[in-house]
Structure 1
Amino acid sequence: MKDIAAIKQPVINDFQRFEEQFKAAFHSDNQQLTEIYTYLLTNVGKQVRPTLTLLCSKLCGKINDTAIQAAVALELMHTASLLHDDVVDEAKERRGNPSVYAQWGNKTAILSGDYLLAASFLVITGINNSRIWMILANVGKLLAEGELLQLNKADGETVSETHYFKVIESKTATLFSACTEVGAISAGADNEQIKRMREFGENLGIGFQIKDDIFDYSDSNIIGKPTGNDLREGKITLPLIHALKISSESERHDILHKIQSISTNESYVAEIQEFARNKGGITYAEEKMAYYKNKALEALSAFPDNEEKEALIAILDFATARNY
C-alpha cells in the first residue's frame, strides 16, 4: 500500500503551490491567532482532500489556479470544522497532540475556526465559477447539519443504519465529493466525468469514515492509539449498530444503558467494544466498507489508465486498509 507522500507525486509541484497558498490564508496580525495557526500548521494531517482535488483535476485535464484555490478553500473549511468539532465533542486530542480546544479553551477554538471559515470565503471570491461557489457553500451547510445530527445521543432513531449513513454523508462524504467534483469542474470536464468524480469522492468518503469507526471498536494495542472515544461521547457507529440490531431486547437495553453511563463507569467502554466484536460488528462494517470501495472503483472505471488514476486508486486503498 502506497503512503500519502508517494500518492502525491503525480501532482507534487502543484501540491507545493497549494501548500504555499494554504499557509498564506492563515495569516493574521493578531498575535494569539498567529500562535494558534503556527501550532496547527506544524500538526497538519495527511491532507488527503486537497490531494484528491488536484489528482481529479489533472485526471480530467489540467491543474489551474481555480483547482488550487478550491483545494485551499475546502481544506480551510475542513480545518475550521475540526476546531469546532473538538469543542462540541470536548476532545482533548487531535492527531496525537493536544487540541486547540484543550490548549486555548472553547471560546478561542470557536473563534479561530470562524476566522478560518472567513478566510475560506475570501479564497472563494477569487474563483470565477458559480457552479464551484454553490458546491463550496453547500459543504459548509452540510457539515453543520451532520454535526447537529450526531449530537443526538443513543436513542431509537440514532441506533439505525439510516441515521448513521445520513450523518457520515453530511459530515464526511460531502467534503470528499466536493473535493473530487470541483477538481473535475476546474479542469473543464464534461458532465459525465463530473458525475463520476463526485460519485468516486462520495463513496471514498463513506468508506474512509467507516474505517475510522471500525478503529473505535478495535484493540488499542493493535492500532497503537486510544480507542472508544466515540463511545465516550455517546456516539453509536456502524459496528455497534449492527451488533444491537441482531441482539435480544434485553441485550440491547443493557448496552444502551451502559453507553449512557460511561461517564460514571469507564469499564463499560471495553465491555461494549467486546460486545460489538463478538456480535460480528467489525466484520459487518468491513463488508459495508468493501461495498463502497467497489462503488468508488466503478466510478473511476471510465477514465483512462494513467498515473493520476493509479494515485486515486491508491488513496482508496489507503483509506480502507490503513491502520491509523
Structure 2
Amino acid sequence: MQLARETICSELQQFEQIFNDAMKSDVVLLNRIMADIAAHKGKQMRPMFVLLCARLCGDVNDSSYRAALLVELLHTASLVHDDMVDDAMRRRGAFSVNALWKNKVSVLVGDQLFTKGVLLALDNNDPVLLQIYSDAIQQMIEGELIQMTKSNKLSFEESDYYALIHAKTASFLAAACAAGAASTARDPDTVQLLHAFGQKVGMAFQLKDDLFDYGKNDVGKPTGNDIKEKKVTLPLIYTIQHADPVTRKKLLYIVKHQHTDRDKVNYVVDIVNQSGGLDYAARQMMIFRDEAFEILYKFPASPVRAALEELVRYTTDRAY
C-alpha cells in the first residue's frame, strides 16, 4: 500500500489527528478504552478508500475527512460488538475490549462509537453521508442475522454465499467509496460508479479472507475456524458440489455435526485443498478484482487512480 499512502500522505496525517481527537472522552473509563483501541488500530484501509475516491473526483475537504472518520468509527464499533458476540479474546494482537472489560462495557463502547458517528454527520448537516452509511449498516446487520438463522440449515449454493458476503462485507466498502466520492463529486452517476467499484473490491476482499481459512500459511489464526463456526464459504461450496457421493456425504456430516472436532475439521481442510476448491475461489476473487478495475479504468489515468489500483491489488495479494 506504499503508493496509496504516499499519494495521500498529507491527508492521512490530518486524518490521523482527526481520528485521535475523536477517540478522546471526558469519561475516564471511556477515554482509557478509546485510547487502547486507537493504539491498536488496523491498516485503516477503509479511510484510505474514502480519501482516494474523494481525490479521484476533486479536492479533499472537510466533508471528505468526516466521511473517512465516520467509516472508521462505524467499522471499529462493529469490531467491538463482533468480539463480544464471538467471545473473542484478541483483536489485532492485543486483548479485545470484551476480554478486558466484558460484555456490558463492550456494548456501551460500541454504541458510543456508533452514536459518535451519527452525531458527526448530523452536526455537520451531512444527510447524504448518513444515508450512504446507514444503508450499508442495515445490510450488514441483516446479513449477520441471516447467517445466524441459517446456521442449522446450511446453504451450499454459490448465489446464497455471494448475497451474504455482499451484505456483510462488500456493502460497507462500497459505502466508503461512495461517501468519499460524494464529498467531492457533483455528479450522482460518478458516486454510483464508485459505489459499484467498492462493491467489487469488497467481494474480492472477503473471498481472500475466506481463502485464508483453508490455506497452509500462518495468518495469525488456525485454519478451519469457518468450519468450526459452521460458516459455509466458496472453497467448501465448490468442493461439496464436485465431490463424489461418498465424500460429499462425509463432508456434509462433519460440517453439520462434527464441526468442533479438530481432526475432522483438518480432514475437511485437506479435502478442500485437494479438490481444487481453493483454486476456484481464487479465480472468482480475481474476476471480482478485474471487474473493479474495469470500473476504475473509466476514470482518466492519474496518480490517484494508480494508488487505488495498488490498493485493490493489495486486497487480493495480501498475506494476512
Check whether TM > 0.5.
yes
Tell me: CA distance 1:181–1:82, structure 2 relative to 1, closer, same or farther (3 Å): same
Following superposition, the deviation at residue 262 of structure 1 comes to 4.6
Residue 195 of structure 2 is matched in structure 1 by: 198
Match among 220, 232, 235 for residue 236 of structure 1: 232
Say if 2:24 is the partner of 1:27.
yes
Match among 131, 134, 139 for residue 136 of structure 2: 139
- Larger mean CA deviation between 203-212 and 239-248 belongs to 239-248
Following superposition, the deviation at residue 234 of structure 1 comes to 1.6
CA distance in 1, matches of 2:57, 2:159: 33
Q: Match of 2:302, as an amino acid?
A: N
State how many pairs are aligned.
320
1:22 match: secondary structure: helix
Following superposition, the deviation at residue 170 of structure 1 comes to 1.1
Match among 287, 292, 297 for residue 296 of structure 1: 292
Verify the 8 A CA contact 2:23 2:34 in the aligned structure 1.
yes
Residue 281 of structure 2 is matched in structure 1 by: 285
Q: Match of 2:10, as an amino acid?
A: N
Verify the 8 A CA contact 1:154 1:236 in the aligned structure 2.
no
Verify the 8 A CA contact 1:214 1:282 in the aligned structure 2.
yes
Tell me: CA distance 1:160–1:152, structure 2 relative to 1, closer, same or farther (3 Å): farther
Following superposition, the deviation at residue 128 of structure 1 comes to 3.0
Verify the 8 A CA contact 2:66 2:120 in the aligned structure 1.
yes
Say if 2:309 is the partner of 1:313.
yes
CA distance in 2, matches of 1:264, 1:257: 12
1:105 match: secondary structure: helix
Following superposition, the deviation at residue 45 of structure 1 comes to 0.7
Residue 96 of structure 1 is matched in structure 2 by: 93
TM-score, normalised on structure 1?
Answer: 0.92
Residue 253 of structure 2 is matched in structure 1 by: 257
Verify the 8 A CA contact 1:153 1:234 in the aligned structure 2.
no
CA distance in 2, matches of 1:207, 1:263: 26
1:51 match: secondary structure: helix
Match among 259, 262, 265 for residue 266 of structure 1: 262
Verify the 8 A CA contact 1:61 1:189 in the aligned structure 2.
no
Q: Which runs of 5+ in 2 are unaligned?
A: none
Verify the 8 A CA contact 1:69 1:126 in the aligned structure 2.
no
Verify the 8 A CA contact 2:214 2:273 in the aligned structure 1.
yes
Alpha carbon RMSD of aligned pairs, Å? 1.8
CA distance in 1, matches of 2:135, 2:80: 19
Verify the 8 A CA contact 1:81 1:143 in the aligned structure 2.
no
CA distance in 1, matches of 2:226, 2:186: 39
Following superposition, the deviation at residue 94 of structure 1 comes to 1.9
- Larger mean CA deviation between 114-123 and 261-270 belongs to 261-270
2:123 match: secondary structure: coil
CA distance in 1, matches of 2:246, 2:104: 42
Q: Which runs of 5+ in 1 are unaligned?
A: none
Verify the 8 A CA contact 2:170 2:203 in the aligned structure 1.
yes
Tell me: CA distance 1:224–1:144, structure 2 relative to 1, closer, same or farther (3 Å): closer
Verify the 8 A CA contact 2:54 2:60 in the aligned structure 1.
yes
Following superposition, the deviation at residue 224 of structure 1 comes to 5.6
CA distance in 1, matches of 2:216, 2:8: 36
CA distance in 2, matches of 1:29, 1:234: 42
CA distance in 1, matches of 2:298, 2:312: 16
Verify the 8 A CA contact 1:153 1:235 in the aligned structure 2.
no
Q: Match of 1:228, as an amino acid?
A: G
- Larger mean CA deviation between 51-60 and 20-29 belongs to 20-29
For residues 73-222 of structure 1, the aligned pairs below 5 Å read 73-152=70-149, 154=151, 156-221=153-218
CA distance in 2, matches of 1:90, 1:277: 29
Following superposition, the deviation at residue 261 of structure 1 comes to 4.2
Q: Match of 1:269, as an amino acid?
A: V
Residue 55 of structure 1 is matched in structure 2 by: 52
Following superposition, the deviation at residue 88 of structure 1 comes to 2.0
Verify the 8 A CA contact 1:220 1:227 in the aligned structure 2.
no
TM-score, normalised on structure 2?
Answer: 0.94
- Between the two proteins, what is the percent identity of the paired residues? 36
Following superposition, the deviation at residue 199 of structure 1 comes to 1.3
2:265 match: secondary structure: helix
